[in-house]
Amino acid sequence: MQLSSLIPPQFRLLAVGLLAAALFGAGWLANGWRLGEQLAEQGLALEGQIAERDLLHANTLGEIARASSAQLRSEQDKRLQLEQQLRQSSVAHHKESVDAKTAADRLRDRLATTELRLSVLVDSAAGAALCGVPAGTGTGVVVHGAARAELDPAHAQRIVGITDDGDQGLIALKACQDYARKVSARH
Most confident of 9-18, 59-68, 136-145: 59-68
Q: Measured between alpha carbons, how far is 172 from 185 in angstroms, rounded to an integer? A: 20
Comparing 162 with 8, the larger pLDDT belongs to: 162
Query: Residue 141 has what pLDDT?
Result: 47
Query: Residue 139 has what pLDDT?
Result: 47
Nearest 10 degrees: CA dihedral of 24, 26, 28, 30? -150
146-178 pLDDT, tens digit per residue, is 788 888 888 888 999 999 999 999 999 999 999
- Lowest-pLDDT range, 40-54, 61-75, 112-126, 171-185? 112-126
Tell me which residue of 96, 70, 111 sits closest to 172, measured CA to CA: 96
Average pLDDT across the chain, whole number: 83
Tell me which residue of 129, 125, 121 sits closest to 145, measured CA to CA: 121
Report pTM: 0.53
Nearest 10 degrees: CA dihedral of 91, 96, 100, 103? 90
- Lowest-pLDDT range, 21-35, 73-87, 116-130, 162-176? 116-130
Query: Residue 154 has what pLDDT?
Result: 85
Query: Residue 131 has what pLDDT?
Result: 54
Q: Measured between alpha carbons, how far is 58 from 45 in angstroms, rounded to an integer? A: 20
Give the list of residues 6+ apart from residue 100 with CB closer than 8 angstroms, or none: 164, 167, 168, 171
Q: Specify whether the CB–CB gap between 182 and 89 falls below 8 A.
A: yes
Query: Residue 140 has what pLDDT?
Result: 46
Phi, psi angle pair for 163, to nearest 5° = -65, -35
Written as one letter, the residue type at 50 is: I
Q: Please state, for a pLDDT cut of 90, what percent of the chain lies above it.
A: 40
Whole-number Cα distances in Å, 127 to 134, 138, 144, 162: 8, 16, 17, 26
Q: What is the 3-state secondary structure (H, E, C) of 35-90?
A: HHHHHHHHHHHHHHHHHHHHHHHHHHHHHHHHHHHHHHHHHHHHHHHHHHHHHHHH
Phi, psi angle pair for 104, to nearest 5° = -65, -40
Task: List the domain boundaries for the chain.
Answer: 3-136+144-186
Q: What is the 3-state secondary structure (H, E, C) of 17-34?
A: HHHHHHHHHHHHHHHHHH
Query: Residue 112 has what pLDDT?
Result: 84
99-147 pLDDT, tens digit per residue, is 999 999 998 888 888 788 888 888 766 555 555 545 545 444 455 567 8
